Amino acid sequence: MIDSAVHVFARSGLSGTTVADVADHAGISPAYVFKLFSGKTPLFVAALEHCYARILDVLEAAASRSPDATPADVLDRLGAAYADLIADRDVLMLQVHAQAAVDDPAIAETVRAGIARITDLAAARSRAGDTEVQRFMAYGQLCHLLTAVDAFTIDEPWATTLTAAIRHTEPTPPHPH
């Protein structure tokens, strides 16, 4: 059900998705979803927490492949792993929709907690200084934006400038409904 929630919310966002949409995708009844979640927002939060857990697992695995590397090398490995991960449009777009829904306190707290955990992991595993970690996070947000707007396929000066030297992974085909 949570995988279905990630997929459906990634496609339609919080306001464009109903609990029935998620239940239908998961092949279960809306009543069963409401047994587990008191409403759409708690279901969205669970999907977002699942997304952040997946990101952290991928980043931890990438960091583990470089136990004695320099801070820059570890951060590069984390960035490459994240670039591969956000080729999955569900992971990418769920985060975009979450950022658009931070007016909801529960969603804002979940986004803040997710970003905090990613920042903490990057700092601890890379042993980089605050400025390097900040640059890593800022660069990651740029990659996130460029992937979301598909800037890698646009032949215009602004896109060429912003995508130069940025690692990009081709998006995976959408999951079937």
Per residue in 102-159, pLDDT tens?
A: 999 999 999 999 999 999 999 999 999 999 999 999 988 898 889 888 898 999 999 9
Does 65 have pLDDT greater than 60?
Answer: yes
Domain limits of the chain? 40-163
pTM for the predicted model, two decimal places: 0.89
Q: CA 63, CA 21: separation in Å to the nearest integer?
A: 37
Residue partners of 9: CB distance under 8 A and separation at least 6: 17, 22, 44, 47, 94, 97
Predicted pLDDT at 174: 52
**CATH class name, domain 40-163:** mainly alpha
Residue 6, helix vs strand vs coil: helix
